[in-house]
Each structure stands twice: as C-alpha cells, then as structure tokens.
Amino acid sequence: MQPSSDAALGGVAGYPVERLYREVALIAYHFHWSRAEILALDHAERLRWVQEILAILKRQPAPNSDE
C-alpha cells in the first residue's frame, strides 16, 4: 500500500517518505511500539526517540569487542 502523502503518515508535508519509514522501523524494532503508536507521535518527538535509540546503540560495545 503506497501512502498518499507524507502528512497522511504522520509526517511533515515534504518530509521524505523513505526517511519516515526508516524512523518508524528503528523505533518499532527497538521499542516494540506499534506503527499506529509511532505515527501518532509528532515529528519532533519521533525524531527525539530516534536520537535516543542511536545514542544507546553508540554506547554499546562492538559485537567482537573484548569489553
């Protein structure tokens, strides 16, 4: 199913749809939130959660690390 517009997916008009999909996938994968819950977030809050997830991932040691 193709979205009719960025705004219809809870995004900002003119916001790249592919970027929205990546943000939703990242949040859903790490927090196990539903698509509806994530799309109900406003743009700024969704970006904030993406930033928090990326910060958590940066703090984790690499898989082959001896730490």
Number of Cα atoms under 13 Å in the Cβ half of residue 33: 18
In angstroms, the CA 53 to CA 8 distance is 25
Task: Report CA dihedral (55, 21, 48, 33) to the nearest 10 degrees.
Answer: -90
Average pLDDT over the chain, rounded to an integer: 85
33-51 pLDDT, tens digit per residue, is: 999 999 999 999 999 999 9
pLDDT band of residue 1 (cuts 50, 70, 90) is very low
User: Would you give the end-to-end CA distance of the chain in angstroms?
Assistant: 44
pLDDT band of residue 57 (cuts 50, 70, 90) is very high
Q: Contact, 49 vs 41, CB < 8 A?
A: yes
What pLDDT, on a 0 to 100 scale, did the predictor assign at position 14?
82
